[in-house]
Structure formats: C-alpha cells, structure tokens
Amino acid sequence: MTAEHLNLIGRIFVAAYFIWATWFNYKAWGHHVAEFKRVGISQGSIALVIGLVAQFAGSVLLLWPGHVVLGGVLLIVFTAGADLLFHRFWTYPDPNEQVIHKFFLFEHVALIGGILGLIAPHL
C-alpha cells in the first residue's frame, strides 16, 4: 500500500464522518437552531444551512482530485467556527457541561490536525 492509498483512505474516512455529521445535524435541526439563539445568533436557520452546506461540500471536495485542499479548508473553517461558537467550555457553569465541551473542543483540534495532514500532500 502506498502513501497515496493511505491518504485516500484517510480522506474517505474523514469525508464519511462529515457526511454523517451533516445528516445528524440536519435531523437535530430544532436543537441546533436553539443553540444558535443561545449564543446570540437570531438567524439560526440560515446559519445552520450554511454549516450543512459547508460540511457536505467540504466532504465531497475532500474526495475530488484537484479539490482536496479546498475541501479540507472548508471542513477546517466549519469545525473551528462551530467550536468557537458552541464549545467554549469555560463559559458553562455546570462542571459536567464543561467536561463535555472541553472533550469536543480538543477532539476537534485533533480532527483539524488530521485534515491538515491529509491536505498537505496536495499543496
């Protein structure tokens, strides 16, 4: 197996995760719109549509030869943006909520690092 094969397998796995997450987030529409309102974004439905499109388009582009970098950047921007809005663990008064959001934040930092590794050979 070559480095190119491993890169493709990694991109397939990451894209599959984000495609699943697009569906999951769509199914949890009401919850996400309420979360947008909680953080001060009144047009949560519009923001959610933008996020869903970014997730799905980034996944497809990550798999499309010649567009890997653009897809990875879209997924990185989406993930970092979601973390900046929703996973600010230090803003939650409940210690259990802090732990959950700290876990998500650092998991997403690792995911962003993995995406950077996947797009690096395509620069």
Handedness of CA 119, 121, 122, 123 (dihedral sign): positive
Query: Does pTM top 0.85 for this prediction?
Result: yes
**pLDDT number for residue 33:** 97
Question: For residue 115, what are its two tokens?
Answer: 């995406």
Count of domains observed in the chain:
1
Q: Which residues of the chain have pLDDT under 70?
A: none
pLDDT at residue 100 in the model:
96
pLDDT of 56 reads: 98
Q: 84 by DSSP, 3-state: which?
A: helix
Domain that holds residue 36: 3-122
